[in-house]
Structures are given as structure tokens and as C-alpha cells.
Structure 1
Amino acid sequence: MKKTILSLMAIMLLAAACGTKKTAVAEAPAAGKETKATELTPALVEGKNLYENNCAKCHKLFEPKKFTKEEWTPILVKMGKKAKLDDTQMASITNYIDSQL
């Protein structure tokens, strides 16, 4: 009986973990802070979603401004291969990262 309950709980946990998907949510700027008004186009929102949903599976997400464009290029190539992303997905993520620099 215990094995059955534990097995069911493990299956439910696995299904819940595989079924969650993050979506991009626009954050309001903090009071008194000015931010660069970068309106995300639908293509950039897709890149942001791909970045958040694929990259966060293995490690914490880095702010795009943490690295320069030149530093991001090899990082994205390497991680894109590990995540098995196609060229279109990689272009979308790269465009999002570049738009935030």
C-alpha cells in the first residue's frame, strides 16, 4: 500500500514539474527608478519565454546585461546545443538578449 501511494505521489510530482510553463510578465518599474522604455514585441516576448523556459531548467537565469554581446555569443551557442534548440529558437533568444543590452 505504501509503495502504491509513494509511486502515485512520484508520478504526480513528475507530471506537475513537466507541466509547468513560465510566461513573460511585464514588471512595473520600482518607484523613483527610471528604466529604459523597451517595449517587447511579440517576437521578443517569444525569445524571452524560450530563454526563461529552456535555460532555467538547468541553471539560474542571468540578467542579459551581466555579459556583453561578445560574451553572450559563445554562451548562447554552447547552451543552445545542450538544450537542443533549433536555429529559429536560438535566433529568437539571441534577439531578446541583444534587445536588453
Structure 2
Amino acid sequence: MKSKILTLAAIALFAASCGTKKAPATPPAAPAVTETAKAKELTPELAAGKSLYENSCAKCHKLYEPTKFTKEEWQPILVRMQKKAKLDDTNMASITNYIHSQL
């Protein structure tokens, strides 16, 4: 009798654990189109600035995400790095435009 009760209890426990399903608390939200997603779309001019940024700056140090600093914080960094990377004003303007477009 004891074994029948234990067997039935085990079967009931197994059935209950297999039958319950947790429902998500909230349905997953559809990804919203934000300004950051729009900022990822690069024009050919911005793509050239990104390429210059990646190729010129990564020679000496790791690349920072453009959003790591504000526009005001980027300005002296870019001026200082222009001299070190030996970039002309046209290339620097392209890099600056790319950085500002990502902010």
C-alpha cells in the first residue's frame, strides 16, 4: 500500500511539474526606432570619417565609442590627436563630423 501511494505521488508530482508553464510577465516589446538607430545609418561622407577614425586612431590606442564623451569633451581630444596623427584639416573635419553624428 505504501509503495502504491509513493508511486502515485511521484507520478502526480511528475505530471504537475511537466504540465505547468510559466507565462512571461509582460510580452516582449517590439524594438522601437530611436535616434541611436538612425545615427547608425551613415552617409558616404560619414562612412569616410568613420574609416579615417578607425584607421588613423587605432594605430596608437584603442578606439573610444563616440558616445563616451560629449561634443565639448571631444573637441580638445580631436585637436590634440590631429597633431599626433598628422591629419590635415579636411581629414580631421571628416572625423569630427562622424563623431558628432554619433552623439
Query: Which structure 1 residue ranges, 4+ long, deviate > 6 Å from structure 2?
Result: none
Q: In the alignment, what sits opposite 2:76?
A: 74
Q: Which residue of 1 aligns with 2:92?
A: 90
- Which blocks of at least 5 consecutive residues in structure 2 are unaligned? 1-29
With normalisation by structure 2, the TM-score equals 0.64
* 1:54-86 per-position Cα deviation (integer Å, ceiling 9, x unaligned): 000000000000000000000000001100000
Distance (Å, rounded) in 2 between the aligned partners of 1:33 and 1:78: 39
What SS does the aligned partner of 2:49 have?
helix
Match of 1:48 among 30, 47, 50: 50
Query: Separation in 2 of the partners of 1:65 and 1:37?
Result: 14
Q: List alignment gaps of at least 5 residues for structure 1.
A: 1-31
Q: TM-score if structure 1 supplies the norm length?
A: 0.65
Alignment partners' CA distance in 2, 1:95 and 1:81? 18
Give how far 1:37 is off. Answer: 1.8
Q: By how many angstroms is 1:33 displaced? A: 5.8
CA distance in 2 between counterparts of 1:98 and 1:86 reads: 18
Letter in 1 for 2:61: H
SS in 1 for 2:93: helix
User: Which has the larger share of helix?
Assistant: 2
**Superposition RMSD in Å:** 1.3
